[in-house]
Amino acid sequence: MRTPLIAGNWKMHKTVAEAERFISGLLPLVYAADGVDLAICVPFTDLQAMVDSTRGSRVSVYAQNMHQAPEGAFTGEVSAAMLSEIDVHGVVLGHSERREYFNETDAVLAEKLLAARSAGLAAILCVGETGQQRDEDETEAVLTAQLDRGLALLDAEALAELVIAYEPIWAIGTGAVATAEQAQEACAFVRSRVAAVHAEAAESTRILYGGSVKSDNAAELLGLPDVDGALVGGASLEPESFAAIAAAAVS
């Protein structure tokens, strides 16, 4: 009932020339990948080129951040309307790197989610605990705080269409992937928090796992009942590995 989503998070990688090389390598590989939604989350400078190069394909294009205000004196920022004007499909919000290095708070993320929705952008909200928080048995408390505050401004329809990426910070870029049991438990918990706001919507909300997803561990993670896809960092930078993960989502 929930179509899997495989989203590649390029972070601060790829010039336009490199992005064009990537997409011309990827499109033939995913041409026939039925039953899975694909997205690439790219730096601002790559957005227009990737929107143009993916038009008519099964790959949608997401930004990696945006500002919550419609416009204003916010030097260096980009608004939701600026993204939707150039046919960007959506935006990743609250990645742990943005929370850590750019001070993104749950309250600001709640506003960003609302602004994205008002501009017609899809959104992927990232949540997850640090290694220390997991060791101290705080995972559920951390997820509860991030979700209760982050989702505060969304109605049921927005919740149903939202994508939430559970990304344990200790697994991001480390090669230390969560076990199937940890991933399922956390993603089921995320769904239960959405259900606490709106039970019916939570059945439609897609929940992704992220953190060292590779072609050789994707099938197991993507087969878990509450995992509806993956947010992929390092392995999304090469067409072959990204396409292999997409294939694992439908096998």
What secondary structure letter does DSSP report for 72?
A: S
Residue 23 or 242: the one with the smaller Cβ distance to ligand PGA is: 242
Residues 13, 230 contacting (CB under 8 angstroms): no
**43 touches ligand PGA (CB under 6 A):** no
Residue 127 or 172: the one with the smaller Cβ distance to ligand PGA is: 172
Q: Can you tell me which of 37, 167, 226, 228 binds ligand PGA, judged by CB under 6 A?
A: 167
**9 touches ligand PGA (CB under 6 A):** yes
d(CA 109, CA 107): 5
Residue 168 or 193: the one with the smaller Cβ distance to ligand PGA is: 168
**Segment contacting ligand PGA by CB under 6 A, of 68-76, 103-111, 233-241, 242-250:** 233-241
Q: Which of 97, 104, 129, 167 is catalytic?
A: 167
**Segment contacting ligand PGA by CB under 6 A, of 42-50, 98-106, 184-192, 207-215:** 207-215
Q: Can you tell me which of 210, 218, 229, 243 binds ligand PGA, judged by CB under 6 A?
A: 210
Binding residues for ligand PGA, total number by CB under 6 A: 13
**Segment contacting ligand PGA by CB under 6 A, of 14-22, 31-39, 102-110, 166-174:** 166-174
Least separation, in Å, of the C-beta of 148 and ligand PGA? 22
Residues 232, 26 contacting (CB under 8 angstroms): no
Q: Can you tell me which of 84, 212, 215, 241 binds ligand PGA, judged by CB under 6 A?
A: 212
**173 touches ligand PGA (CB under 6 A):** yes
Query: Exposure string (b/e) for 110-129, b if CB count within 10 Å is 16 or more?
Result: bbbbbbbbebebbbbbbbbb
Report which secondary-structure segment, H or E, holds 1: none
Active site residue 167: yes
Query: Exposure string (b/e) for 40-68, b if CB count within 10 Å is 16 or more?
Result: bbbbeebbebbbebbeeebbbbbbbbbbb
| DSSP-H helix ranges across the chain | 16-30, 44-54, 80-85, 96-101, 106-118, 131-135, 139-150, 156-161, 180-197, 199-204, 218-222, 239-250
**168 touches ligand PGA (CB under 6 A):** no
CA atoms within 13 A on the CB side of 210: 31
Q: Of the candidates 78, 145, 157, which has an alpha carbon nearest to the alpha carbon of residue 114?
A: 157
Could you give the residue numbers annotated as active site?
A: 95, 167
Q: Using CB under 6 A as the criterion, which residues of the chain lie in contact with ligand PGA when the complex forms? A: 9, 167, 172-173, 210-213, 231-235
